[in-house]
Structure 1
Amino acid sequence: MDEEIGRKIQTLLDQHRIMTIATLRPDGWPQATTVGYANEGFILYFLCGLDSQKAANLARDDRVSLTIDHDTPDITAITGLSMAAHAQPVTDTAEAEKVLRMLSLKYPEQVPLPMPMPTAKDVRIFRVQPTVISLLDYSKGFGHTDLVNC
């Protein structure tokens, strides 16, 4: 991967904390929802209620698409990224504890709340491992993207 593109992807991931993630419903239609995330490099983590449609979708098919971006009044300044990825539940207690610390750092204004562990019956932590990342940068031309295979 080109170093500059890798740095831009990392910067976008580190600067933001909300993503829109699409899972596949049983009827085959995508379902997009907004979730908070923390990241370690290009790997993202998010929390999901186990009784949610998103969790049911992921139990059937772990493929996801997601976007991370921000609003700008200048169309030529649009930047963001999208990913094709796989989302797997975190089952290791040490990894879960690390992710919960990362989420606390990403959301420092959040009042500390009891957080889920891999054995929780109502909330699960998911790890999102990208397979393809598309970096959108309109400053290089309308709709310009750089594609990175992971």
Structure 2
Amino acid sequence: MDQAIKSKILTLLDQHRTMRIATLRPDGWPQVTTVGYTNDGLTIYFLCGPDSQKAKNLARDDRVSLAIDDDTSQVMEITGLSMAARAQMVVDPMEVEKAMRSLMSRYPEQKSIPLPMPTPADVRIFRLTPIVVSMLDYSKGFGHTDLVCC
């Protein structure tokens, strides 16, 4: 992967905290939801309820598609990324703890809200490994994308 493109991907991942993620329902239709995430390089982590539709969908099919971007007032300033990835449930306790700490550090304002933090037993944590990344940058031309295989 070209280092300049990788740097742009990492910058976008580090600048944001939410993504839209599509999983596949049992009937084959994609289901898109918004989730908070954290990343360690190109590896992305998110959590969801153990009985959530996302968790059930991922138990059947580990393929996901995701999008991360900004809402901008100027169409030619649109930047973002979309990604095809494989999702794996994280079961290693050390990796679970690391992902939980990292995710909570992305939301420092949460500390002032008296809500209980979920424990690893309360949630499912998934690791997303990218397969293909599409970098969107309209400043280079309407609909310009750089496609990168991982």
TM-score in same-fold range (> 0.5):
yes
Q: Which amino acid aligns with 1:108?
A: P
Distance 1:107 1:42 in 2: 20
More helix by share: 2
Is 2:89 the partner of 1:86?
A: no
Equivalence for 1:71: 71
Contact 1:116/1:125, CA 8 A, preserved across alignment:
no
Map residues 16-27 of structure 1 onto 2, 5 A cutoff: 16-27=16-27
Could you tell me how far 1:123 is from its partner in structure 2?
A: 1.3
RMSD, matched Cα: 1.1
The TM-score normalised by the length of structure 1 is: 0.94
Is 2:131 the partner of 1:131?
A: yes
Percent identical residues:
68
Equivalence for 1:47: 47
Equivalence for 2:31: 31
Could you tell me how far 1:74 is from its partner in structure 2?
A: 0.8
Contact 1:24/1:64, CA 8 A, preserved across alignment:
yes
Q: Which amino acid aligns with 1:123?
A: V
Could you tell me how far 1:97 is from its partner in structure 2?
A: 0.8
Q: Which amino acid aligns with 1:21?
A: I
Distance 1:62 1:116 in 2: 23
Q: Which amino acid aligns with 1:81?
A: L
Equivalence for 1:148: 148
Distance 1:31 1:116 in 2: 26
Equivalence for 2:118: 115
Distance 1:123 1:101 in 2: 14
Unaligned 5+ runs, structure 1: none
Could you tell me how far 1:115 is from its partner in structure 2?
A: 3.0
Deviation per residue, 1:38-97 (Å, 9 max, x gap): 000011101111111111100000100000001111111000000000111100000011
Equivalence for 1:4: 4
The TM-score normalised by the length of structure 2 is: 0.94
Unaligned 5+ runs, structure 2: none
Runs of 4+ in 1 over 4 A off after TM superposition: none
SS of 1:110's equivalent in the other structure is: helix
Q: Which amino acid aligns with 2:22?
A: A
